Structure 1
Amino acid sequence: MAAQPKVVIIGAGIVGCALSDELTARGWTDVTVLEQGPLFTTGGSTSHAPGLVFQTNGSRTMTEFARYTVEKYSALTLAGQWCFRQVGGLEVATSPERLAEIQRRHGWLSSWGVDSRLLAPEESAALHPLLDPERILGGFHIPSDGLAKALRAGEAQARLATTRGARFLPHHTVTGIETTGDRVSAVVTDQGTFPADIVVSCAGFWGPKIGRMVGQTVPLVPLAHQYARTTALPVLAGRNDEHTEASLPILRDQDAGLYYRELVDRIGIGSYAHRPMPVRLDEVAHPRDNRMPSSLAFTEADFEGAWADSVSLLPSLSDAKVEEGFNGVFSFTSDGMPLMGESSEVRGFWLAEAVWVTHSAGVARAMAEWLVDGRPGTDVHECDVNRFEEVQLAPSYVHERSCQNFAEVYDILHPLQPMESPRPLRVGPFHSRQEALGAVFLEGGGWERPHWYEANAALPEVARIPGRGEWASRYWSPIAGAEALVTRERVALYDMTPLKRLEVTGPEALAFLQALTTNQLDKPVGSVTYSLMLDEAGGIRSDLTIARLDTERFQIGANGNLDLDWLRRHLPADGSVHVRDITAGTCCLGVWGPLARELVQPLTDADFSHQGFGYFKARETYLGDVPVTAMRLSYVGELGWEIYTTADLGAKLWDTLWEAGQELGIIAAGRSAFNSLRLEKGYRSWGHDMTTEHNPYEAGLGFAVRRKKQHFTGKPALDGISDETVTRRLTPLIVRDEQSVVLGHEPVYVDGHPVGYVTSAAYGYTIGAPIAYAWLPARHAAPGTPVEIEYFGARVAAVTAAEPLFDPEMSRIRR
């Protein structure tokens, strides 16, 4: 590829315009933006977007995208007119549940560094005088929120990009994308062909159509969303003019599924309080046939409840009526997150889809950094288009879950709350045994995952488990605590089948993995190594367990599809290395607890003693009649093994271990106990505790880095970094109130000021206290530092601690 690549962006909505600006500002000026409609009212979602920018989100990444959007658009003007008006945002609670929720949301923004405050009803009404304070219980004010003029902001960015060399071509309908080998080479339109080294689809709800041109699934669903404008309100007369448009805060009543903004002397009302209205792409008009194909006819019957709720909240509306309305089309995904990144199948084909105006500039900046610098400065694993498992790309799955996300967009959702349908999808070979034991399943990655077993309700240890607050009690049972204690006291089986398993083979397999991981893998067959994959900037892409099962065969315990994608992108072209996902054809049981050896040794002729089968070793053998790969690993801090076999033998493996374990008091234990036990040992969870935004030393994983290795990705970026030089640390906290089991993402305060945020949390049943891990400045991370965690608006006392909290001598694992 040339030093100055030819970039073709498909779509001149706000995302395409923002990306052209961000790319050209970084020196990539050979940028062509192709638009099927006119400029800049293109006919897509941007053309009718109401422009409300609320920054609050449980995802740090999404809040950062929105924060940058506010920052950038606040500095833009077009022909002397504003592109962003910082009127502030106000969310109101009309129920006790929502009042608690806005307290949680205030905590999120405090964690992510965005100023906000909680308000009494009277304070809320003082900010927004149209509100009836008798109807609300409280408010949540974000001063930096506001209104984006999407068309102006898009055009302003396009004009900046044009001054640097970009060109925008309207009325160019893309009809195909040419490839040479596995790379894009040109974009074909009804007006001609445009050579391209990089193609970025910013086509919005037309994205799936563009993706099909290269065989790329774009898992989004176009859905219609109601928006209405009222007649003039006397109470707003003279308050605004056509230039200012608005001065009151943008407003959300999420209990009713509604949002509001001023339109000079009128009110604009957006509603999610209606049935999902999916739209077929073949039913959407082309812009040449209809200037606003994304604006569909208003269905008045669907708005009746929204209007009644609006009049109740804003009594001034009782003298008004709906003057006009439309059903605007925009994009939803199955998990509510954008689709960003490069196709895993076609090199040079990138996507920035399902992006709302709220996050447009932030997404564009991250995309430009990704393209120009090789990595975005913000962690984007939640948004990476390659994050989905194959089953999650089924059209029926994408349709149903995207519609459900629309229905739940303003709902109060617990972090563990699963979608209810379509389920079950992926079940392991132990599933029927687990059902027989009363497993309570939640879902992750399409897998049914037991969180506890009702069969364990009679365990005497249940009586030793303390209660907890209302939110922490959801999707939890004291049975989970009993399962954790039994794991520490006897032996338990854990279903580890959903763990992503990859096989790497070939004559260059060792060299390939050595170059991509931080630890030393040049060890004898039978060795298992904990290692990290870094990006070029030294950020943690993943953590892996890598077992060398033969000279040219390795098995990797990975974190998900993004690891598979990363490895495949780096495969040598000569075919000397192969990477295969073996998850579906295999299964795994974690056998852990002080009696684990007494369970497995009688089932095999192999030596499972500490001397004969050391920690972080692997062996292929038999347990009873079942051929297994046993790895002496423990993610819970107890003696034991991960035991793998093929899926067809999974039920036999379970039965063999279960029958042999009866005299030892064996139980099956779930993910809830597992999470508690791993936090007591300080074991990290990638994507929660650390991401690409963190280096190994900050995350407490410097032990997995072998600086003496000749080369590995990210090694140069670690020069000068050590445990002693880092300025922030992932730090364990012990919460003083045993009822206060926090959820994650809460802010951490020192001397009354927010300084960090919680990543993972659980009750530590062995140590008898709630545990939270948090990112803190290094100066506040020393053990014994008093801190506070803001939890639903209250401050909970905690103290930093040395890790691991349990068995620091590692005596229980190495017995």
Structure 2
Amino acid sequence: MKPVPETARVVIIGGGIIGCSLAYHLCRLGWREVVLFERRRLTSGTTWHAAGLIAQLRATDNMTRLARYSQELYGELEAETGLATGFRRVGSITVALTAERLEELQRQAAMARSFGVEIEEITPDEIGARYPHLNRDGVRGGVFLPRDGQGDPGNIALALAKGARQRGAVIFEQTEVTGITRKGRRVSGIDWQRPGGERGHIACEALVNCAGMWGRDVGRMAGVNVPLQACEHFYIVSEPIPGLGALPVLRVPDECAYYKEDAGKIMLGAFEPHAKPWGPIPPDFEFDQLPEDFDHFEPILEMAVNRMPMLGEAGIHTFFNGPESFTPDNAYHLGLAPEADNVWIAAGFNSVGIQSAGGAGMALAQWMEDGEKPFDLSDVDIARAQPFQRNRRYLRERASETLGLLYADHFPFRQKQSARGIRRSPFHAELSARGAVFGEVAGWERANWFARDGQAREYRYSWRRQNFFDNVAREHAALRSGVVIYDMSSFGKLRVEGPEAERFLDRVCGADVAVPVGRILYTQFLNHRGGIEADVTVTRMSESAFLVVTPAATRLADETWLRRHLGEHRATITDVTAGEGVLAVMGPGARELMQAVSPDDFSNVGFPFGTAREIELGLAIARAHRMSYVGELGWEIYVSADMAVHVFETLWEAGQGLGLTLAGMHMMDCARMEKGFRHFGHDITCEDHVLEAGLGFAVAMDKPDFIGRDAVLRKCETGLERRLMLFRLEDSEPLLYHHEPILRDGDIVGYLTSGAYGHHLGAALGMGYVPAGGESAADLLASSYEIDVAGRRVAAMASLRPFYDPASRRMRG
């Protein structure tokens, strides 16, 4: 065996397709001293037995961009390396057996058109013409993507490895990582060993965990969290079928099945509703398969033999059961680990590793090269992973569900059922006792809506009006005409304090944080391109202390951004999220309710908008922040967890004579859409320039120094290339969610970044970016707009200002 060097610029752990892809792309960027360790042989974990389906369309624009890149790369590798990848563009068909599934496919087709992906909606007869072996009983329609393909996973990985070697990477098989040396927030080296007892240590500048189903354990060695779980994944391969020619990949998600023709045989794979977690992994695992479980697979096979009768005649050549890794949310983990400054992750690919690996390797390599994301990767950024998710029982329970969700109906508002109830606010029991129906974000149980007496507390999913539509309408009406309370405890709370806390936050935030004590600022953390890394409020608590409030899902990512930019500033950052409960008291009746429970002054003069102060409330001491995400007069009440229930009881009792209504997160989202408030991760991301997002008012242009300042000033000079616009459908019936295409004067120009029903306005609302290079606001608004809703073009009114209370008189009154 060749000797292992003593130093490397980067060590990659794992020789599956993603490790090989990353090595290839780093070398292509000119990196040298790229070393890859594989514990056994390349591809011997999951890659070798993957199905090799290579689709283009993913759930978001950027994930689709990565999948399309993978396709293009795999098509070129053979010419570059001389190794055949087996890549063929055979196309793919997905069929619907229910009306709900058909609407999902129609919405996906519309989304694909906005992403520039070639797609065709096809009838049952057209499906039969392209796939004559299919039993079309119950088939309602489908979609055909002509540029989808399939390939040989092992050979693709080996071609990437060869391409990496040709550019200077060094790959060591039969070399297992046994320890990782860490000093502070940086890994300094890796211990390794080989069969026969040879051992050594290699120093490195960076480490990348591409260890697949071993990723969690390798992460623990490095002191970082990589929550994933191996699950059993089943497929069968038929005996050769005479005369069977090339066929598109076929997916029948309503029967949990996919079909792939290869070398005159049919492969049938399944994503069953309840999967089987697997582990621990034997130490000698290499090109192994797991024991057959025909009883588990039999229901899928029975449906498949009916759907594809030739399977029942051909016989089974191979029954295969192999492990693949799954994450808690069915999105893979990519990026710089929050717990370290030089440990990177690319693992947990949820059965889409082959179609994702090319693009993921390219994106991560560029991220490592530039020190910042090449584009929005929040869908897969490892910073979304919560610390508690490394719990092994949690992972086993959640993974058993998430595998099946790959082929489940992807209904809006769909909630996970497994591993629930982990994080609860102090108000949880009070809300549950009064009809709350909970959803989950980052492990937090959040009241999404409130059931009426006698109404089932459950979601009944649909693409149309779901069973809680009227409940949310009632909560929304109470907000606009009376007073509501809702629980905001899950929102992240980061205390930044110290003698240089102001100076530090002034560098990180777009707004000027040199404000009086008690002032609340709405601001963003910007990157060097002027893109939005975080959307927060900052409250000055004292001369040396600030409270940064973040969305629940991005608390860890936002804290990580702050820590990575702290530098030598004399300040500390502390997560205090769980220490306080937060109730929002909102609506035109909010002042009357607050005056009923507190002797403090809540007048507009005594307690102006954008300020925070300590108050007496009932028998407790709390802190009231006069802010609003729903466009109404109101206060967010922060109270220590020990006094939270008392505060709730006091507000609830006082509100009985004032028509107080409990409200949930769905109402909040509908109300913020009416007010045109942006949602981070949808309407604003690291890719969206703060000025094009319409948030220039939150940036202190005259500040001498803050991250992104040059990009903001440059955009002021060059002008906006696009603008975030608001839309209201002229037909009150259709519903909007996100990714519906925007048509301007008949042509697709973008897609909605978010959508919700405006119950007060009586129609669905959406936001989305529209190209605006060289055009004035009047030019944009002079056009006619439509939104494509599942293939139907619906006329829409466009605006650059909120449809509800554009002057913000209500929340400031």
Superimposed CA distance per residue, residues 296-335 of structure 1 (whole angstroms, 9 cap, x where no aligned partner): 2433333333333223222333320111121121111111
Superimposed CA distance per residue, residues 599-658 of structure 1 (whole angstroms, 9 cap, x where no aligned partner): 223543433221222111111222232211111111111111111110111111112222
1:664 corresponds to 2:634: no
Specify the code of the residue in structure 2 equivalent to 1:177.
I
Partner of 2:444: 447
Which of 609, 614, 627 aligns to 2:608? It is 614
Superimposed CA distance per residue, residues 234-283 of structure 1 (whole angstroms, 9 cap, x where no aligned partner): 131xx4xxxxxxx3211111111111111121112212237522221333
Q: 1:604/1:303 Cα in 2 relative to 1: closer, same or farther (>3 Å)?
A: closer
Distance in 2 (alpha carbons) for counterparts of 1:143 and 1:752: 25
Q: 1:668/1:319 Cα in 2 relative to 1: closer, same or farther (>3 Å)?
A: closer
1:17 corresponds to 2:20: yes
> Retained in 2: the 8 A contact 1:697–1:723?
no
Q: 1:457/1:806 Cα in 2 relative to 1: closer, same or farther (>3 Å)?
A: farther
Partner of 2:296: 302
Which of 151, 156, 161 aligns to 1:158? It is 161
Distance in 2 (alpha carbons) for counterparts of 1:584 and 1:209: 28
Distance in 2 (alpha carbons) for counterparts of 1:593 and 1:724: 41
Q: 1:423/1:305 Cα in 2 relative to 1: closer, same or farther (>3 Å)?
A: closer
1:749 corresponds to 2:762: no
Superimposed CA distance per residue, residues 69-90 of structure 1 (whole angstroms, 9 cap, x where no aligned partner): 1121122214263452111111
Distance in 2 (alpha carbons) for counterparts of 1:339 and 1:332: 10
Displacement, 1:196? 0.7
> Retained in 2: the 8 A contact 1:620–1:629?
yes
Specify the code of the residue in structure 1 equivalent to 2:567.
P
Partner of 2:4: none
> Retained in 2: the 8 A contact 1:37–1:43?
yes
Distance in 1 (alpha carbons) for counterparts of 2:304 and 2:656: 62
Displacement, 1:751? 4.1
Specify the code of the residue in structure 1 equivalent to 2:171.
F
Partner of 1:208: 216
Distance in 1 (alpha carbons) for counterparts of 2:735 and 2:768: 14
Displacement, 1:684? 0.7
Displacement, 1:723? 9.6
Distance in 2 (alpha carbons) for counterparts of 1:710 and 1:274: 56
1:141 corresponds to 2:136: no
Partner-residue secondary structure (3-state), 1:734: strand
1:100 corresponds to 2:103: yes
> Retained in 2: the 8 A contact 1:121–1:134?
no
Specify the code of the residue in structure 2 equivalent to 1:14.
I
Distance in 1 (alpha carbons) for counterparts of 2:418 and 2:311: 38
> Retained in 2: the 8 A contact 1:510–1:522?
yes
Which of 85, 91, 102 aligns to 2:88? It is 85
Q: 1:92/1:768 Cα in 2 relative to 1: closer, same or farther (>3 Å)?
A: closer
Partner-residue secondary structure (3-state), 2:743: strand
Mean CA deviation greater in 175-184 or 319-328: 175-184
Partner of 1:372: 369
Partner of 1:430: 427
Partner of 1:787: 785
Which of 230, 233, 236 aligns to 1:222? It is 230
Distance in 2 (alpha carbons) for counterparts of 1:304 and 1:604: 64
Mean CA deviation greater in 23-32 or 707-716: 707-716
TM-score if structure 1 supplies the norm length?
Answer: 0.92
CA RMSD of aligned residues (A): 2.3
Partner-residue secondary structure (3-state), 2:400: helix
Partner of 2:495: 503
Specify the code of the residue in structure 1 equivalent to 2:70.
T
Q: Which runs of 5+ in 2 are unaligned?
A: 1-6, 194-198
Displacement, 1:358? 1.3
Specify the code of the residue in structure 2 equivalent to 1:508.
E
Which of 636, 645, 648 aligns to 1:651? It is 645
Mean CA deviation greater in 740-749 or 632-641: 740-749
Partner of 2:337: 343
1:264 corresponds to 2:263: yes
Q: How does 1:276-355 map to 2 (within 5 A)?
A: 276-283=275-282, 285-287=284-286, 292-293=287-288, 295-355=289-349
Mean CA deviation greater in 538-547 or 790-799: 790-799
> Retained in 2: the 8 A contact 1:698–1:723?
no
Distance in 2 (alpha carbons) for counterparts of 1:376 and 1:194: 28
> Retained in 2: the 8 A contact 1:186–1:194?
yes
Distance in 1 (alpha carbons) for counterparts of 2:184 and 2:101: 54
> Retained in 2: the 8 A contact 1:456–1:483?
no
Distance in 2 (alpha carbons) for counterparts of 1:441 and 1:738: 27
Q: 1:457/1:592 Cα in 2 relative to 1: closer, same or farther (>3 Å)?
A: farther
> Among the aligned pairs, what percent are the same residue?
37
Superimposed CA distance per residue, residues 417-444 of structure 1 (whole angstroms, 9 cap, x where no aligned partner): 1112323222222223222321222222
Distance in 1 (alpha carbons) for counterparts of 2:750 and 2:123: 27
Q: 1:788/1:36 Cα in 2 relative to 1: closer, same or farther (>3 Å)?
A: same
Superimposed CA distance per residue, residues 587-608 of structure 1 (whole angstroms, 9 cap, x where no aligned partner): 1111112222222235434332
Distance in 2 (alpha carbons) for counterparts of 1:706 and 1:765: 35
Displacement, 1:784? 5.4
Which of 556, 561, 572 aligns to 1:561? It is 556
Partner of 2:394: 397
Specify the code of the residue in structure 2 equivalent to 1:266.
K
> Retained in 2: the 8 A contact 1:206–1:281?
no
> Retained in 1: the 8 A contact 2:501–2:571?
yes
Partner-residue secondary structure (3-state), 1:283: coil
Distance in 2 (alpha carbons) for counterparts of 1:410 and 1:791: 22
Partner-residue secondary structure (3-state), 1:296: coil
Partner of 2:544: 552
Superimposed CA distance per residue, residues 73-121 of structure 1 (whole angstroms, 9 cap, x where no aligned partner): 1222142634521111111122333222221221232232211111011
Partner of 1:414: 411
Q: 1:734/1:232 Cα in 2 relative to 1: closer, same or farther (>3 Å)?
A: same
Distance in 2 (alpha carbons) for counterparts of 1:179 and 1:330: 29
1:641 corresponds to 2:644: no
> Retained in 1: the 8 A contact 2:585–2:635?
yes
Distance in 1 (alpha carbons) for counterparts of 2:691 and 2:339: 34
1:483 corresponds to 2:475: yes
Specify the code of the residue in structure 1 equivalent to 2:275.
P
Superimposed CA distance per residue, residues 527-570 of structure 1 (whole angstroms, 9 cap, x where no aligned partner): 11111011222211111100001001111111222111211222
Distance in 1 (alpha carbons) for counterparts of 2:715 and 2:441: 35
1:121 corresponds to 2:119: no
Q: How does 1:676-695 map to 2 (within 5 A)?
A: 676-695=670-689
Superimposed CA distance per residue, residues 722-753 of structure 1 (whole angstroms, 9 cap, x where no aligned partner): 39822222211110111112122222223443
> Retained in 1: the 8 A contact 2:87–2:152?
yes
Partner-residue secondary structure (3-state), 1:188: strand
Q: 1:5/1:504 Cα in 2 relative to 1: closer, same or farther (>3 Å)?
A: farther
Q: 1:525/1:90 Cα in 2 relative to 1: closer, same or farther (>3 Å)?
A: same
Displacement, 1:801? 2.0
Distance in 1 (alpha carbons) for counterparts of 2:583 and 2:154: 55
Partner of 1:727: 721
Distance in 2 (alpha carbons) for counterparts of 1:718 and 1:155: 44
Specify the code of the residue in structure 1 equivalent to 2:565.
H
Q: 1:565/1:102 Cα in 2 relative to 1: closer, same or farther (>3 Å)?
A: same
Distance in 1 (alpha carbons) for counterparts of 2:664 and 2:142: 39
Specify the code of the residue in structure 1 equivalent to 2:72.
E
Q: 1:134/1:180 Cα in 2 relative to 1: closer, same or farther (>3 Å)?
A: same
1:570 corresponds to 2:565: yes
Partner-residue secondary structure (3-state), 2:646: helix
Q: Which runs of 5+ in 1 are unaligned?
A: 240-246, 459-467
TM-score if structure 2 supplies the norm length?
Answer: 0.93
Distance in 2 (alpha carbons) for counterparts of 1:696 and 1:622: 38
Count of aligned pairs:
786
> Retained in 2: the 8 A contact 1:20–1:166?
yes
Which of 178, 196, 208 aligns to 2:204? It is 196
Q: 1:602/1:208 Cα in 2 relative to 1: closer, same or farther (>3 Å)?
A: closer
Distance in 2 (alpha carbons) for counterparts of 1:208 and 1:811: 51
Which of 375, 378, 382 aligns to 1:381? It is 378
Q: 1:112/1:428 Cα in 2 relative to 1: closer, same or farther (>3 Å)?
A: same
1:49 corresponds to 2:50: yes
Mean CA deviation greater in 526-535 or 91-100: 91-100
